[in-house]
Structure 1
Amino acid sequence: MKLIVGLGNPGKEYEHTRHNAGFDAIDELAKLCHTSIDQKKFNALIAQVRVGNEQVILMKPLTYMNASGEAVIQAVNFYKIETKDILIIHDDLDLPVGKLRIRTQGSSGGQKGMQSIMNHLHSQEIQRIRVGIDKNPLIPIVDYVLGKIPKESKADYQDSLIKAAEAAYMSISHDFSEVMNRYNKS
């Protein structure tokens, strides 16, 4: 069984903000899986799907970004999911809009949702897809991440969400090194 988690904040006021790139990307993944993420369980919205021979849980934690690990650890413990079978999709201030970076491990890079998950799983060896949202030194980080993507960047941003979803989908049935080789080039 695999667990794919998109990070974000619940609620209308946070919809489609930069910090909800993980939620938006996992919604794109749900479309590829012909499902919707609408079942409430583990303090999250989830969907259970089968892709080929693999059972997959898609998750959007409802704990707010900084406590994402609370929802993830509940699913991990319930289904006995191994860390190697977890994939997290989240926003990244250090990447330009439209860029993805896919890694098998590393620090949280200051992303508090990812840090919460690493704290709860006691590991930095967690696969992740980082979706670039850029940054603006003139805007405080909290205000920036909770803002919307400007219209001149929307096409690149939407393209990165679709690529993140495609990479996540590919990770279900392919070795993660193949996913990295394919999507870290773009």
Structure 2
Amino acid sequence: GFGAVKKQFQGWTQEGRIGSEKILLLKPATFMNESGRAIGEALRFYKLDVDALTVFHDELDIAPFRVKVKTGGGTAGHNGLRSTDQHLGPDFRRVRLGVGHPGHKDRVTGYVLGNYAKAEIEPLSDMLGAIAAEAPWLAAGDDVRFMNDVAVRMQP
């Protein structure tokens, strides 16, 4: 389980375990384009390298409610990834949570900042439940098993 929420590192944290791995969850309270500052502060405090970091983020280029993991890469215009890249370099692991694309680039900002539609709440809940259930594989570093098992859980 996870302990109480604490305010630190310019955000909110919880400490706990997933399997045998000690985990620190951090939700930056900064603006998205400054989230790398909060992440960098936490890594420096705990004297962790960037390979200990996993960033969960929304991904326009992946179909809604699909989950993919990769290490390194570009920012695809994502301000939070850009900030993290600027503070820590590009070689961190990312769990990419598909949200799909609204169709035209002029609609992206409103789309990613908006709320989910009522019809999307159940598949969103299913996706988050699948991620939570399979998190031990992610914590153990088995990204392929994590992605495969999440995908199996998401099948109708």
Give the 3 Å change call, closer, same or farther, for CA 47–64 of structure 1 in structure 2: same
1:131 aligned residue (87, 90, 97): 97
Structure 1 residue 135, shift from structure 2 partner? 2.3
Conserved 8 A contact 2:21-2:139: yes
Which stretch of the first structure deviates more once superposed, 163-172 or 89-98?
163-172
Aligned position for 2:83: 116
Which stretch of the first structure deviates more once superposed, 151-160 or 68-77?
151-160
TM-score (norm 1): 0.71
CA root-mean-square deviation: 2.2
Three-state SS of the structure 2 residue aligned to 1:140 is helix
TM-score (norm 2): 0.84
Q: For residue 140 of structure 1, what is the amino acid of its counterpart?
A: R
Q: For residue 156 of structure 1, what is the amino acid of its counterpart?
A: P
Structure 1 residue 102, shift from structure 2 partner? 1.1
| Structure 2: distance between partners of 1:183 and 1:104 | 18
1:158 lines up with 2:125 in the alignment:
yes
Aligned position for 1:26: none
Conserved 8 A contact 2:18-2:135: no
Aligned position for 1:90: 57
Q: What CA deviation, in whole Å up to 9, does each residue of 1:4-46 have, x standing for no partner? A: xxxxxxxxxxxxxxxxxxxxxxxxxxxxx3445x201110100
| Structure 2: distance between partners of 1:165 and 1:118 | 26
Alignment of 1:1-186 (within 5 A): 33-36=1-4, 38-122=5-89, 124-137=90-103, 140-183=107-150
| Structure 2: distance between partners of 1:68 and 1:125 | 16
| Structure 2: distance between partners of 1:64 and 1:130 | 20
Q: Which has the higher contact order (CA 8 A, sep 6+)?
A: 1
Conserved 8 A contact 1:102-1:129: yes
Conserved 8 A contact 2:67-2:147: no
Q: For residue 54 of structure 2, what is the amino acid of its counterpart?
A: L
Q: For residue 28 of structure 2, what is the amino acid of its counterpart?
A: P
Q: Which has the larger radius of gyration?
A: 2
